[in-house]
Amino acid sequence: MAFGRLERTPGPQPMSDINMTPLVDVMLVLVVIFIITAPLLASSIKLDLPGTDAAKPNDAPLFVSVALDAKGQLFLNEKPVTAAELAQQLADSGRRNPETEVQLRADQTVPYGRIVEVMGAAQKAGLNRIGFVAEPRTP
């Protein structure tokens, strides 16, 4: 009688090694993420914050307020001035204290070129600290 073989062939054995493919995929994704985010972290904004030991509580910083209305009229410390008068008074402020800050307020409709002219007059007068004043948005 022929019943065939009585021996059984062994089936596939379980794999006891770690599958490295998913690990390599995850590591490559992490490397790409770090490559993309590293330059973004390096170019963060650096702030020059005042030290507490050098500043006195009652010392207010010196500033002049320059405003441009919708018509292009210049105001220095809330008083109307011409471009020549503005340049002269900014130069006087710059000679007295070069650390004086210029707080620039401009209407939304004022052309950018006009704002740049005022900034140029301030920088020509030796005032390099220019702050732009804006109002918070209402919800």
CB atoms within 10 A of CB 90: 24
So what's the pLDDT on residue 13?
A: 82
So what's the pLDDT on residue 41?
A: 67
Q: pTM of the prediction?
A: 0.53
- Residue found by looking up tokens 């950018």 in the block: 112
Q: Which residues of the chain have pLDDT under 50?
A: 43-60
**Domain chopping of the chain, boundaries:** 63-132
DSSP string, 66-116: EEE-TT--EEETTEEE-HHHHHHHHHHHHHH-TTPEEEEEE-TTS-HHHHH
So what's the pLDDT on residue 84?
A: 92
Domain at 63-132, CATH from 3.40.50.2300, 3.30.70.890, 3.30.420.270, 3.30.360.10: 3.30.420.270
So what's the pLDDT on residue 24?
A: 93
